[in-house]
Amino acid sequence: MSARRQGEWMPIGELAQRAGVSPDALRAWERRYGVLRPLRTAGNRRLYSSADAVRVRLMCRYIAEGKPAHVAAEMVSAARLAVHVGAGEQVADEEVRAAHAELREALDGFAETAAQRVLERLFVAHSRVAVIRDVLLPYLRDVGDRWADQHLTVAQEHFTSWFLEARFMAMSRGWDRGVGPRALLACPPGERHVFGLVAFGIALHELGWRVTYLGAETPLAMVEYTAGRMTPELVVLAAVMPDRLRSSDRALRALASRYPCALAGAGAEPATCADLSARHLAGDPVTAAAEVARG
């Protein structure tokens, strides 16, 4: 763990000193009630985040108000914390593996709070785009593979998708703010997979662009109508399957003749992009957003 990363976490002694609570009490709250979910180093040393410090302060406040420890712990677990996003540009492989294992255990077991704790811990140390690129998008691919192999039930897949969609959309608020160029994002008719496109929008907005998002299964006539209202510098259509774009060839051709367009996702074939004079956005959404921002 680098010096920078170490500075973003604290050992149990420092947390205890900050909160005015003994290390034994912190270990007990972690063991009995799950109030804390520390990061473990390769040597199994506990490291705590600023979010953990907030939870300890809440725990102390509720106990000082006369609430039993188990009730205070339940209230702390139910609290949704506002986490100051970190600056780390890449999530280390071992941290990715640990996060995936914890997310799998939590989301397969329908445990929203436990899964949220994993994300809070990641966002304390890393930027949004790093967590999306290195942790969440690979996890979504793993969910798809396990679903295809029938290692997930319909209920587990739906719960996981709902959980992650809510978090992705929360990160997309305020996309219209700023003075940078504007992008219009949509999925064509028949395309319901939006995670990659939303991730692209989040990354592009972080790079100064304003973003208008129309979502899944958008008729291309509506994309063209919206483009006519706002005159975007770029229209981006994303699809997982090539036929989602091929089936709208005429409307797509008309759109691309009037506005700068780009096609993204696994369904965006280079030959189709060349035929339409549309930009081909290859690779992961975060990298594609960086390429667009560079021009």
Q: Do 84 and 50 meet the contact criterion of CB atoms below 8 Å apart?
A: yes
Q: Does pLDDT of 140 surpass 80?
A: yes
| Dist CA 242 CA 110 (whole Å) | 33
Q: Is pLDDT larger for residue 8 or for residue 180?
A: 180
Tell me if the domain spanning 1-82 has CATH number 1.10.1660.10: yes
CATH match for 182-294 among 2.40.110.10, 3.40.50.1100, 3.20.20.70, 3.40.50.280: 3.40.50.280
90-130 pLDDT, tens per residue?
A: 898 988 999 999 999 999 999 998 898 888 888 888 888 99
77-99 pLDDT, tens per residue?
A: 766 665 555 667 889 898 899 99
254-283 pLDDT, tens per residue?
A: 999 999 999 999 999 999 899 888 999 988
pTM here? 0.73
Q: List, edge to edge, every strand of the sheet that includes 261-264.
A: 210-213, 182-186, 234-238, 261-264, 279-281
What is the rounded average pLDDT of the residues 8-35?
Answer: 88
What is the rounded average pLDDT of the residues 9-38?
Answer: 88
3-class DSSP state for residue 7? helix
Tokens 């986490």 -> residue: 83
Q: Do 236 and 184 meet the contact criterion of CB atoms below 8 Å apart?
A: yes
- Tokens, residue 47: 């490291």
208-250 pLDDT, tens per residue?
A: 999 999 999 999 999 999 999 999 999 999 999 888 888 778 8
Quickly name the fold that domain 84-171 has: 1.10.1240
- Tokens, residue 130: 């790093």
How confident is the model at residue 4, as a pLDDT?
37
How confident is the model at residue 2, as a pLDDT?
41
- For CATH 1.10.1240.10, the residue range(s) in the chain are 84-171
Query: How many Cα atoms are found within 13 Å in the side-chain-facing hemisphere of 109?
Result: 10
Beta strands in 214-258 (DSSP E): 234-238
How confident is the model at residue 7, as a pLDDT?
45
**Could you tell me the sign of the dihedral formed by the alpha carbons of 203, 207, 213, 217, in that order?**
negative
What is the rounded average pLDDT of the residues 153-181?
Answer: 90
| Dist CA 113 CA 238 (whole Å) | 31
- For CATH 3.40.50.280, the residue range(s) in the chain are 182-294
Q: Do 206 and 129 meet the contact criterion of CB atoms below 8 Å apart?
A: yes
| Dist CA 31 CA 27 (whole Å) | 6
